[in-house]
C-alpha cells in the first residue's frame, strides 16, 4: 500500500477525530458555562435525590449525560459533573446508565441537609398505622415508587382490627399512590384515594413533554407487568388512564389532605371536601409540597394554575405569570412566544435576583421588544373571570386576563410530618 492509498483511509479518520474532539471541547465549554451560571445564581443545591459522581471511577463515557433528560450533568475535563443541580429531579436514570458504577444516589449535601422520614422495611413510620411510599420517602424512581406503593398495601392488608368505614386512605395519585390503589382493589380493602391536583400522575404530570421517565419494567397489582422499559411522559400517562378505565379505580381529584388526627380506632383524615375514618393512612405525596398560593379572592377560578404544562394552550390569550425565579421567567418567555398572546410578569421584589443570567438577559430583550410587560414590586389583589387587579407602588390597575400561572414555590410537607408525630431524619449527602 503506497502513501496515496494510505492517505485515502487516514484523511477521513483524521476528519472524524477532529470533528469529535471539536464537538467534545465545545460541549465542555458549554458545561463549564452552565456550571458557572449555577454557582453565580446560587443554584447549587439539588432539591431531591441526586447523583454523587466519583471522579476516580468515572471514565468519561458520557452515558449518564445521555440518560439525563434535564441536562443536569455535563462533561468537564473528561469527567461527568453535576452542572445544573436544581434541574435534577431524582429519577436516577444516570446511575442506571453508568457502566462503571461511578454514581451513587444520595440525599442532601454537606452544606444543606434533606429531611427524610424514618420508615421501617414495611414502610410504616414510627406512628403505627401511618405508612409512607414513593417520593416523600426519598424514592423518586417511578418503578421503585410504584413497587413501594404495592408493598405498603400488602402490609396494611395484614393489620388487625378495624371498625372504621375505611381500611386505608391513600394520599396522592402519583406512581406510589396509583399502585397502592390497585393493591387495595386486589386485596378488597375499603379505600379512598385523594389527590390535590386535578389530574392523575403526581410528579409525572409535571415533567416536560416527551421526557423519558421510566427505565425498567414494574409489576402492578390487578394489571400485571407493564410491558415497556422506556416510556415518555405522555405514553405513561396514557397507560395510567387506561388502567383507571379498565379497573374502575376511584380517585378523588382536586381534594387536598389538610390534617390527620389519631383516634382510638385509627385515624381521621380531614380533606378540603370532607373527612374519613380509617384504620391506616398511606402518604404517597411528593416532596415538592403544596403550591404556595396568592391568598386573594378569586384564586379558586379554574384559570389559576401553579405550573406551566403546555405554552401552546395560551395562544391568543391575556396571561399573567407570578414569580421571580427561573420557572416564572421561563414560563413567561415561552408563553410570550406563542401567537397572539399578551404576557404580564408580576414579581413582588424590585429585581429578578434569583434568575439565571441567561434568563434575565433574554427577559430584558423580550421586554425591550414589547413581548412581555414586567411589573416589579407588584402583587395580585383580586382575580375575576376575565380580568384581575394588580397593585404596583400603591396604585391599583385592572388588566384583561384569561389565565394565571403562579410560580411561587411550594410549602414543604416536613412540618406537617413532625406535627403528626412522624420522625424525620436530616441527611447530608448520604443514601
Residue 298 included in any domain: no
**Residue 344, SS3?**
strand
Q: What is the CATH number of the domain that holds 50?
A: 3.30.70.20
Q: What is the CATH number of the domain that holds 249?
A: 3.50.50.60
d(CA 76, CA 29): 8
Tell whether the model's pLDDT for residue 316 goes beyond 70.
yes
Mean pLDDT of 275-280: 96
* CA–CA distances in Å: residue 213 to residues 81, 89, 193, 270, 361: 21, 10, 23, 32, 31
Residue 82 included in any domain: yes
Q: What is the pTM assigned to this prediction? A: 0.69
Residue 266 included in any domain: yes
Pairing of strands 231-232, 212-214: antiparallel
User: What is the tens place of the pLDDT at every residue in 11-49?
Assistant: 777 777 766 667 778 888 998 988 888 887 777 888 777
Tell whether the model's pLDDT for residue 202 goes beyond 70.
no
User: What is the tens place of the pLDDT at every residue in 369-423?
Assistant: 999 999 999 999 999 999 999 999 899 999 999 999 998 877 768 888 888 999 9
Q: Tell me the helix, strand and coil percentages in the chain, rounded to 5.
A: 30, 25, 40
pLDDT of residue 5: 62
Mean pLDDT of 258-264: 93
- The answer on 227 and 132 residing in a single domain is yes
pLDDT band at 315 (very low <50, low <70, confident <90, very high): very high
pLDDT of residue 71: 85
Tell whether the model's pLDDT for residue 85 goes beyond 90.
no
Q: Positive or negative, the Cα torsion across 423, 159, 276, 194? A: positive
Q: Positive or negative, the Cα torsion across 373, 379, 382, 384? A: positive
pLDDT band at 170 (very low <50, low <70, confident <90, very high): very high
- Average pLDDT of the chain, as a whole number: 85
- The answer on 277 and 360 residing in a single domain is no
- Out of 59-68, 198-207, 234-243, 418-427, pick the least confident: 198-207
For the chain, the first-to-last Cα distance in angstroms comes to 59
- The answer on 324 and 343 residing in a single domain is yes
- Tell me which H or E stretch contains 280: strand 274-283
Domain residues for 182? Answer: 115-289+412-427
Mean pLDDT of 94-120: 86
Residue 299 included in any domain: no
Q: Which of 99, 101, 111, 114 is nearest to 50 (CA)?
A: 114
**Residue 244, SS3?**
helix
pLDDT of residue 289: 65
d(CA 21, CA 23): 5
Mean pLDDT of 300-322: 90
- The answer on 236 and 156 residing in a single domain is yes
User: What is the tens place of the pLDDT at every residue in 349-365?
Assistant: 888 866 777 888 899 99
pLDDT of residue 283: 95
d(CA 299, CA 246): 35
pLDDT band at 208 (very low <50, low <70, confident <90, very high): very low
**Residue 367, SS3?**
helix
pLDDT of residue 53: 92
Q: Which residues, 6+ apart, have CB-to-CB distance to 272 below 8 Å?
A: 196, 255, 256, 258
Tell me how crowded residue 393 is: count the other CB atoms within 10 A of its CB.
8
* Per-residue DSSP letter, 292: P
Q: How many domains does the chain have?
A: 3
Looking at per-residue pLDDT, the higher value among 90 and 39 belongs to 39
- The answer on 191 and 323 residing in a single domain is no
pLDDT of residue 55: 92
- The answer on 329 and 198 residing in a single domain is no
d(CA 258, CA 165): 19
Looking at per-residue pLDDT, the higher value among 157 and 9 belongs to 157
- The answer on 312 and 377 residing in a single domain is yes
d(CA 314, CA 301): 16
Tell whether the model's pLDDT for residue 199 goes beyond 90.
no
- The answer on 281 and 308 residing in a single domain is no
Residue 294 included in any domain: no
Q: What are phi and psi of 381, to 5 degrees?
A: -115, -30
* Per-residue DSSP letter, 293: P
> Across the strands, what pairs with 50?
106
Q: Which of 127, 194, 190, 129 is nearest to 164 (CA)?
A: 190
Residue 273 included in any domain: yes
User: Taking the mean position of all CA atoms in its chain, how far away is CA 280?
Assistant: 27
pLDDT band at 3 (very low <50, low <70, confident <90, very high): low
Q: Which residues, 6+ apart, have CB-to-CB distance to 274 below 8 Å?
A: none
DSSP string, 172-215: --SHHHHHHHHHHHHTT--EEEE-SSSSS-GGGGGSPTT-EEE-
Tell whether the model's pLDDT for residue 64 goes beyond 60.
yes
- Percentage, residues of the chain above pLDDT 90: 44
Amino acid at each position: 500500500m503506497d502513501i496515496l492509498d494510505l492517505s485515502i483511509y487516514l484523511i477521513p479518520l483524521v476528519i472524524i477525530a477532529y470533528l469529535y474532539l471539536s464537538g467534545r471541547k465545545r460541549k465542555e465549554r458549554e458545561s463549564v458555562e452552565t456550571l458557572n451560571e449555577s454557582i453565580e445564581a446560587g443554584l447549587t443545591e439539588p432539591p431531591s435525590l441526586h447523583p454523587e459522581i466519583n471522579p476516580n471511577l468515572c471514565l468519561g463515557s458520557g452515558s449518564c449525560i445521555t440518560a439525563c433528560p434535564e441536562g443536569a450533568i455535563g462533561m468537564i475535563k473528561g469527567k461527568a459533573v453535576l452542572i445544573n443541580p436544581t434541574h435534577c429531579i431524582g429519577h436516577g436514570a444516570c446511575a442506571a446508565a453508568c457502566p462503571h458504577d461511578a454514581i451513587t444516589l444520595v440525599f442532601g449535601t454537606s452544606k444543606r441537609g434533606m429531611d427524610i422520614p424514618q420508615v421501617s422495611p414495611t414502610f410504616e413510620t414510627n406512628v403505627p398505622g401511618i405508612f409512607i411510599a414513593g417520593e416523600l420517602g426519598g424514592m423518586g424512581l417511578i418503578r421503585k415508587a410504584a413497587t413501594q406503593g404495592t408493598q405498603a398495601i400488602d402490609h396494611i392488608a395484614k393489620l388487625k382490627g378495624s371498625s372504621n368505614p375505611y381500611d386505608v386512605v391513600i394520599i396522592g395519585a402519583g406512581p406510589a399512590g396509583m399502585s397502592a390503589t390497585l393493591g387495595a382493589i386486589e386485596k378488597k380493602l375499603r379505600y379512598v384515594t385523594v389527590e390535590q391536583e386535578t389530574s392523575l400522575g403526581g410528579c409525572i404530570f409535571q415533567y416536560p413533554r416527551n421526557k423519558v421517565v421510566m427505565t425498567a419494567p414494574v409489576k402492578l397489582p390487578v394489571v400485571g407487568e407493564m410491558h415497556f422499559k422506556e416510556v415518555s411522559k405522555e405514553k405513561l400517562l396514557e397507560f395510567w388512564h387506561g388502567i383507571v378505565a379498565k379497573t374502575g379505580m376511584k380517585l378523588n381529584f382536586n381534594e387536598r389532605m389538610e390534617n390527620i388526627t389519631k383516634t382510638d380506632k385509627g385515624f381521621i383524615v380531614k380533606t378540603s371536601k370532607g373527612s374519613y375514618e380509617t384504620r391506616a393512612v398511606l402518604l404517597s405525596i411528593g416532596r415538592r409540597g403544596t403550591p404556595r398560593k396568592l391568598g386573594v379572592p378569586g384564586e379558586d377560578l379554574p384559570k389559576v394554575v401553579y405550573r406551566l404544562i403546555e405554552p401552546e394552550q395560551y395562544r391568543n390569550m391575556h396571561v399573567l405569570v407570578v414569580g421571580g425565579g427561573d420557572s416564572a421567567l421561563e414560563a413567561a418567555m415561552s408563553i410570550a412566544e406563542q401567537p397572539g398572546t399578551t404576557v404580564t410578569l408580576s414579581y413582588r421584589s424590585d429585581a429578578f435576583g434569583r434568575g439565571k443570567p441567561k434568563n434575565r438577559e433574554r427577559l430584558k430583550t423580550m421586554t425591550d421588544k414589547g413581548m412581555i410587560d414586567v411589573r416589579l414590586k407588584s402583587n395580585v389583589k383580586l382575580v375575576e373571570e376575565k380580568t384581575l387587579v394588580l397593585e404596583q407602588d400603591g396604585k391599583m390597575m385592572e388588566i384583561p386576563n384569561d389565565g394565571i400561572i403562579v410560580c411561587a414555590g411550594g410549602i414543604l410537607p416536613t412540618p406537617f410530618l413532625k406535627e403528626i408525630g412522624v420522625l424525620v431524619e436530616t441527611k447530608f449527602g448520604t443514601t
